[in-house]
Amino acid sequence: MTPLLQVEGLEVGYETGGGVFRRGGAGVRAVAGVDLALNAGEVLALVGESGCGKTTVARALVGLLRPSAGRIRFAGRDVEALGRDDRLAWRRAVQMVFQDPFDSLNPRKTALATLAQPLRIHRIVPRAELRREAARLLDRVGLSPGAAYLNRYPHQFSGGQRQRICIARAIAVRPQVIVADEPVSALDVSIRAQILTLFQELSRDLGLATIFITHDLTVVRSLSDRVAVMYLGRIVEEGPTDAVFALPRHPYTAALLAASPIPDPVLARRLLRRPLGGDVPSPADPPGGCAFHPRCAHAAAICGTQRPVPQPQPGGGMSACHFAADAPQWARPHDRILEEVS
């Protein structure tokens, strides 16, 4: 089966060091060679800490940034080679939801105007139907009756309601893929659950494939089918979510799992926690070999000299670690620890 959306060797660079006082300067490779595949109807979580390049990948996927190398294929076709009409079809099929619902809605536009624009551009419904379609979309995202919200401006909505409008805008053009960049990070726990439920319903009812970018591993665990973990511009581990959480096969994934607080005081006090030391290195000057080796408790000499190539793993995933095969010895799989102590 051809994946719906496929990324091969994606690289995206930013110019740095330029500006008013200096010209030129070294570039930063925010994304340094990423391979990803998203199948129809699948939820893929992309996780990593700030600066790992996950947002840059998202922006390249929807065409907001131009890759400096690599290929993005939609339904098997290279998006760079698409003609004008096919390009518009791709842009329509892949829609984005941003993190901050306060920044991503035009404060001068009513909900109706916000939703009518994409409907008009992509000629989804006849002009006379715009109002009814916009109301239907608001109903779909849980703002009902939708007609009652059409003439409101963003400031008249709460944060959670705004994010619902952003989601309505994304699904307005009947896309096949939603790329959601930290869509619940700005929201409170109880509101977050409502929006996550909405994402779950959309992927189930509309068959939408989703790339869900987050730094929150608890969300990954409950929402996604597959997970890809990024570190310094590269994917270090990828695989079925349950398999990765049961036995991470990259030390960085294991460290992320171990660092996440456990909302259970009895277990938390029995688990030995060794926080990962150090800071994420600058992507302008990444360490040689495996980019994670300076912080890795299991690093050996080879890790400083040779960059590990992603290798298929038992369980259907892949890991870019020289010692992935020894994972059962060094990984601290959360599930297993929890079983032992409980």
Instruction: For residues 29 and 288, give the distance between their C-alpha atoms in angstroms, rounded to a whole number.
Output: 14
DSSP state of 307: P
CB of residue 109 vs other proteins: minimum separation in angstroms? 23
Site string for other proteins, 245-284 (x = CB under 8 A): x---------xxxxxxxxxxxx-xx---x-xxx-xx----
CB of residue 323 vs other proteins: minimum separation in angstroms? 20
- Site stretch for other proteins (CB under 8 A), options 15-23, 34-42, 305-313, 332-340: 332-340
Q: Which of 35, 133, 139, 242 binds other proteins (CB under 8 A)?
A: 242
- Residue 95 or 214: the one with the smaller Cβ distance to other proteins is 214
Residue 177 C-beta-side C-alpha neighbours within 13 Å: 26
Instruction: For residues 210 and 325, give the distance between their C-alpha atoms in angstroms, rounded to a whole number.
Output: 30
How would you class 126 by CB atoms within 10 Å of its CB: exposed for 0-12, middle for 13-18, buried for 19 or more?
exposed
- Site stretch for other proteins (CB under 8 A), options 100-108, 119-127, 143-151, 191-199: 191-199
- Residue 64 or 268: the one with the smaller Cβ distance to other proteins is 268
Q: Where are the alpha helices (DSSP H) in the chain?
A: 54-61, 84-93, 111-121, 130-140, 159-171, 189-205, 217-223, 241-246, 251-259, 265-270, 301-305, 327-330, 334-341
CB of residue 278 vs other proteins: minimum separation in angstroms? 9
DSSP state of 146: G
Interface positions with other proteins (CB under 8 A): 49-50, 158, 188-190, 192-194, 196-197, 200, 215-219, 221-222, 241-242, 245, 255-266, 268-269, 273, 275-277, 279-280, 334-335, 338
